[in-house]
Amino acid sequence: MRLASGIEKFQTLVYPQMRRDFRELESGQTPETLFITCSDSRINPNLLTQTKPGELFVIRNAGNIVPKPGTGELSVEATIQYAVEVLEVKNIVVCGHSHCGAVTGLMNLDSLDSMPAIKNWVRKSEKVLDQVNHSDEGRICEAIKANVLLQIEHLMEYPYVAKAVAAQQLEIYGWVYHFENGQVEFLDQEAAVA
């Protein structure tokens, strides 16, 4: 198994060089950013942002979706609350990406009839469908951006997030990562929350 050889390489080559960093993390973590992104294997948050272990608190799921509070998605909700109220992160980044399968599925809901769990999950972003011109060739690209901005709207519905933003203790950003060329598109800060 390739992963086992990766672990061996980590233990013999990487860990010895980072031993001090990992020892410092024994006493706890103090990440400044909650990074919410897609589960897509083409995204590596630490590689993209050039951060070390302990610098990002990460939520990953299909479509970088932030369900509205109180919808029963306790894993996501608990992680957001922990990041904001316990870790007191200073930033939240919602990072979508090009060629997102979840957003493509959202734009073609009938194609997900045989996969009800996926269909129900991406429908949490169904409002995006009202914001995208369906006749436009670039509609998936626009839907990806609209999806990121929708997740920021959902974040602001969490009382502790809204309170931290209002107190200027927290800033929220929307990004779209284009893995095919390495570019990151920073979405309009007027549309996002700062």
> pLDDT tens, 48-106?
999 999 999 999 999 999 999 999 899 999 999 999 999 999 999 999 999 999 999 99
Q: Is 38 among the residues known to form the active site?
A: yes
Query: Cα Rg for the chain, rounded, in angstroms?
Result: 18
Q: Is 139 among the residues known to form the active site?
A: no
The CATH number of the structural domain formed by 31-186 is: 3.40.1050.10
Q: Is 42 among the residues known to form the active site?
A: yes
Query: Could you tell me the residue ranges of all domains in the chain?
Result: 1-27, 31-186
State the catalytic residue, choosing from 40, 95, 141, 154: 40
Q: Is 141 among the residues known to form the active site?
A: no
State the catalytic residue, choosing from 2, 20, 21, 42: 42
> pLDDT tens, 137-161?
579 999 999 999 999 999 999 999 9
> pLDDT tens, 107-141?
999 999 999 999 999 999 999 999 887 655 579 99
Q: Is 95 among the residues known to form the active site?
A: no
Predicted model pTM: 0.93
